[in-house]
Chain A
Amino acid sequence: MILKNQHTQQAHQRHADEVADLLLAVLHSSGFTEPHTREAAFQGSELPALFREYVDKILGESYRITDDDIDKLLASGYSQDAIFEITVSAALGAATKRLEAGLSALKKAG
Chain B
Amino acid sequence: MEYAVLPKSGYDKFISFLAKQKKLVAPVYKGNNHYAFEPVTNAEQISLSYIPTILPPKKYFMPQYETLVEYDTHEGQNMQAVVELEDLILFGVHTCDIAGIQCLNMVFIDRPRDLNYLIRKNHIIIIGFECNNYCDSDASCGLMDTYNPNGGYDLFLTDLGDYFLVHISTHAGEELVVKSKAFEDVKPNHFEDLKALRKKKEGIFKPEVPVNRDDIPKMFEEGFDCEVWEEIGNRCLSCANCTNVCPTCYCFDVKDIPNLDLKTGKRIRIWDSCQNEPFAKVAGGESFREKRKDRKRHRFNRKFNYPVKRYSRFFCTGCGRCTRVCMAEINLKETIVALAEQTGYIKKSAKQEVK
Partners in one complex: no
